Amino acid sequence: MYVCICNAVSESDVHTCVSAGAESIRQVKNACGWKPGCGSCTARLAEAIGRARASAGAQPSAA
């Protein structure tokens, strides 16, 4: 499932970036090569980061 349609970033991509050490929305965007787009995906991205961190055994971060 796509988290960001404008950048074709999937939930799996977010999990990969979080597994590689990205923690914040900014870090995940940088790691995934995010380009400015419509911006409608911020909430979906935050949720995907939370799921990725939870599945990795980390506590969800508000950062």
Residues that bind ligand FES (CB under 6 A): 4-7, 37-41
* Residues 3, 9 contacting (CB under 8 angstroms): yes
* Residues 6, 35 contacting (CB under 8 angstroms): yes
Nearest residue (CB) to ligand FES, 5 versus 56: 5
Using CA atoms, how far residue 49 sits from 1, 11, 22, in Å, is 14, 9, 9
Nearest residue (CB) to ligand FES, 7 versus 16: 7
- Minimum distance between the CB of residue 40 and ligand FES, rounded to whole angstroms? 5
Nearest residue (CB) to ligand FES, 30 versus 58: 30
